Amino acid sequence: MKPTGMHEACGVIGVVAPGREAARLAFFGLYALQHRGQESAGIATSDGRAAYLVKDMGLVAQVFNEENLSRLRGEIAIGHNRYSTTGDSHVRNAQPYLIETLHGPLAVAHNGNLTNAAALRRELLRRGVGLSSTSDSEVIVQFLAASAESWGEAEEGRDPWVDRIRALMRRAEGAYSLVLLTRSAVYAVRDPRGFRPLVLGALEEGGFVAASESAALVTVGARYLREVEPGEIVRIDAQGLTSFVGHPPKNPALCIFEYVYFARPDSRLEGRTVHLVRQRLGAELAREAPADADIVIGVPDSAIPQAIGYAHALGLPYSEGLIKNRYIGRTFIQPDDALRKNAVRLKYSPLAANLEGKRVVLVDDSIVRGNTAGPLVRLLRDAGAAEVHVRVASPPVRHPCFMGLDMATYDELIAHNQGLEAIRTRIGADSLAYLSLEGLLRAVGKSGHCTACFSGDYPLPIPPWLFEVDREKRIFEGVWGEG
């Protein structure tokens, strides 16, 4: 099924686990990061001699089994969950990418999106480097492999990869949280603005882990250490962690949508537990847009903390009104037309006993294209709700994202094209309110984020033509890459 609706950012993990099968740890780490991408999954390992790779379309549990995990030999590994931001879901775009280079094998897993991938791509092609996909992540791999900085053998005692990564960081613009695997080390790299998260943990039995989110550290039995800093390169090998300045940091711009929707509630971002920030989003929303109602419900799972925060701030009962099917995942069975029209019903069922005759506040984390809220309101009314007041715990999404989220084009964003009252009518709510940008920033409690999808303030120059072209063209130009 061609993906519809918004897409997640990708998830990455890197593992150095002396004396253990790193692939097994990477597998469970990817399992914990499944929410960040469900289209394909992959793990690359090295045993110090050769590198191994398994990747395929599907969920982590569908791609891996005992047989192929046992082929992934070695004590170091990287892994990737992908949700394509291209329309073309094909295994050739699955990650990690693994190639052979002058300095041995190189595997790369990327979360983010380069805004100047088209220029880098042309440069590689001019240098005679062939490319096999349209992905900006392949551009990163080839740029690292073909870096003019270190053609020829590395100097004695000098890490050729650090030089090559630095050379990439001088040229790459946009969002990249990377984990790289070489013959004997894993590197964790974050772009100078830190658009996408990346954290480090220490394994109890020895060794280290880098992961998109701290929740994955808990899963693999690693203790949270710290974030990879914007602009930092961290080498992880048998000797431990070594930090290098990859590029001087620029103004910090962690994606604020990680707080709104993407990250797991039990993950920690910038020292804050995401669940608690989401409760504050709900509390801010309650102050800005209270409702006269009997119960408050959230759209599971991502808007539950916001609904709790909203209810608590107004002294209203928080209740469950929608049950989400936990196993819906990504189905390859096409619904027929009638089911497709009611796609939301495949995912959510109303809890009529809690709704009958009630004035209900329905809290959701975001409205993007506006395809979800309307059917949910109808579902609640059909189940007997007397009134439905929709409260959105983030501002209207009015601008596309070029930093690794598939925030569509202007045309697709309902709040770019319609005002509040038109959206309220369209979704059939008795009232509708969004959180303000100020309220969002207050709840996060720290400055220095990318808020472009809400504010239109892009933290870096976006080539104007990127706004003009449609998605197919972007794919063709190869600038629209991996989540």
Which residues of this protein are in contact with ligand 5GP, per CB under 6 A? 5-8, 261, 299, 302, 364-372
Structure tokens at 441: 């920033």
3-state SS of the chain: helix, strand, coil percent to 5? 35, 25, 40
Does 299 contact Mg ion by CB under 5 A?
yes
Smallest separation (angstroms) from ligand 5GP to the CB of 15: 26
Which partner, ligand 5GP, Mg ion, none, binds residue 268 by CB below 5 to 8 Å per kind?
none
Q: Tell me the sheet residues that pair with 390.
A: 362, 432
Q: Does residue 11 sit in helix, strand or coil?
A: strand
Candidate segments 121-129, 301-309, 310-318, 336-344, binder of Mg ion by CB under 5 A: 301-309
From ligand 5GP, Mg ion, none, which one binds at residue 371 (CB under 5 to 8 Å depending on kind)? ligand 5GP
Task: Give CA separation, 217 vs 25, 31, 88, 110, 211, in Å.
Answer: 10, 11, 31, 18, 7
Nearer to Mg ion, 36 or 110 (CB): 36
- Total residues contacting Mg ion (rule CB under 5 A)? 2
Q: Which of 10, 255, 450, 453 is catalytic?
A: 10
Distance CA 319, CA 311 (A): 9
Any residues with CB less than 8 A from the CB of 430 and at least 6 apart, and which? 387, 388, 389
Minimum CB separation of residue 369 from ligand 5GP in Å reads: 3
Evaluate whether 60 touches 81 at the Cβ level (below 8 Å).
Answer: yes
Q: Which helix (H) or strand (E) is 70 found in, with range?
A: helix 66-71
415 in contact with Mg ion (CB under 5 A): no
Q: Which is nearer to Mg ion, 392 or 401 (CB)?
A: 392
Is 401 labeled as catalytic in the residue annotation? no
What is the C-alpha separation between 16 and 23, in angstroms, rounded?
A: 10
Q: Is residue 405 near Mg ion by the rule CB under 5 A?
A: no
Tell me the two tokens of residue 226.
Answer: 């710290």
CB-CB neighbours of 333 under 10 Å: 5
CB closer to ligand 5GP out of 104 and 335:
335
Closest CB 107 distance from ligand 5GP, rounded Å: 26
3-class secondary-structure state, position 218: helix
Write down the least CB distance from residue 326 to Mg ion, Å: 14
State in angstroms the smallest separation of the CB of 399 from ligand 5GP.
14
- Residue 477 CA, distance from chain mean position: 22
Identity of the residue, 182 or 394, whose beta carbon is nearer to Mg ion in the bound complex: 394
Q: Extract the runs of DSSP E, i.e. beta strands, from 58-119.
A: 76-82, 97-101, 104-111
Considering CB distances under 5 to 8 angstroms, the limit depending on partner class, which of ligand 5GP, Mg ion, none binds residue 6?
A: ligand 5GP
* CB closer to Mg ion out of 101 and 372: 372
- Reduced to 3 states (helix: H, G, I; strand: E, B; else coil), residue 192 is coil
Please, which residue, 81 or 394, has the CB nearer to Mg ion? 394
Give the range of 271-279, 294-302, 378-386, 410-418 binding Mg ion by CB under 5 A. Answer: 294-302
CB of 342 to ligand 5GP, least distance (A): 14
23, amino acid identity: A
Which of the residues are catalytic? 10
**Which residues are near Mg ion by CB under 5 A?**
299, 302
